[in-house]
Chain A
Amino acid sequence: MMQADQLPVWAALLASALVLLGAGFTVIGAIGLARLQTFYERLHAPTLGTTWGAGGILLGSIVYFTVAQSRPVVHEVLIAAFLTVTTPVSLMLIARAALYRDRAERNPLVPPDDASQETDA
């Protein structure tokens, strides 16, 4: 196993770029979460972190460990898979719960409740 400073330059550059890309997207998502005004707008911002953000960091990790250990290391695929399975689902659940609540409270900002549409969900 190589140490970080023994890595070939191209691999070090690639891994760093990917990690920085991921981290950058995550930061943008976090800033968005803080700055956007309504709940529905805010929903979009963190998705940056769980898609490209996580993806970039995971890819960087794959590159780094594959080169460092001189064998393919792809454990990170599992992390990506679980993220894909869970985060969108929870975001969807949160969004629908919010929508349900707003409709139940007759919030004028959301479209009114339409029962026939709801049933085919």
Chain B
Amino acid sequence: MSAIDPVVLFFVLGVAAGLARAELRLPAAIYDFVSAILLLSIGLKGGMQLATQPVGNLLGNVALVLLLGVLLPLIAFPVLRFAGRLPRADSASLAAHYGSVSVGTFAVAISYAARQGIAYEEYMPLFVVLLEVPAILVGILLARGVSRTTRWGPLAHELFLGKSIVLLLGGLAIGWAAGPEGLEPIAPFFFDLFKGVLALFLLEMGLIASAQLSGALRYGLFLVAFGLLAPLAFSVIGIGFGMLMGLSPGGVMLLAVLAASASYIAAPATMRTAVPEANPAISLTASLAITFPFNILVGIPLYHRLTELLLNG
């Protein structure tokens, strides 16, 4: 078996084609479709496993995951604001992006775990949902304070009814209600095709990342360094939380990946309306052009090693 997961090679192809300005553009509808399938598959898989165990046992871990989601942006913000000397709005927006999660990165990590034969708690997708929102809320508060002018109604709508939350939670609920046997008829579409769908998704992500890549240096070396070092530091925090929660080694690794990943769907959309004075290009460049490729290509195997090291140390 070759060392590199072929789905990762699709990402590399996308980046290369984008940089070479090849005549390659997937229609936006394809991207929407493919990402919807990924979100539903991940949700269904997690929900299916939730069906087989008492949910009450998870409450302590749910609280810890929410705490992790609040903690990460609070760590990132002062670093960006004082070490990076970024404006308050931009620091808060970046903190929200890095505290929140990337489902795409999580999907690649699942694929990695499957290839390596790593077992993990199958309900991990629940944690993806839980980690998505708190950091964005903290980011808005960091930027605005508790301001009366913030219109929370539309923001809450965007936060809790965004595509990723609805499809992940929806998938979890359907998986939970139907159980493993109930899902069998749709398993070929959602589970067997998962890798192929992920490959297409990563091809498109490669094209998108390459378009952002040209801006990577425009915002200075600090942003590049942050995009590479923040995921490393956060993965260690994720490992710590995973150990605290008593997860299996595979579960600890996946939590490290979640902590290390940065949002590029929910956070940009919400921050754009909640904190308009933040430059959206800075966060998107860091998250998409630096951190996402780093996590896909280097980060996931690295967090795997780190997990093994820290668990056995």
User: Do these two chains really belong together in a complex?
Assistant: no
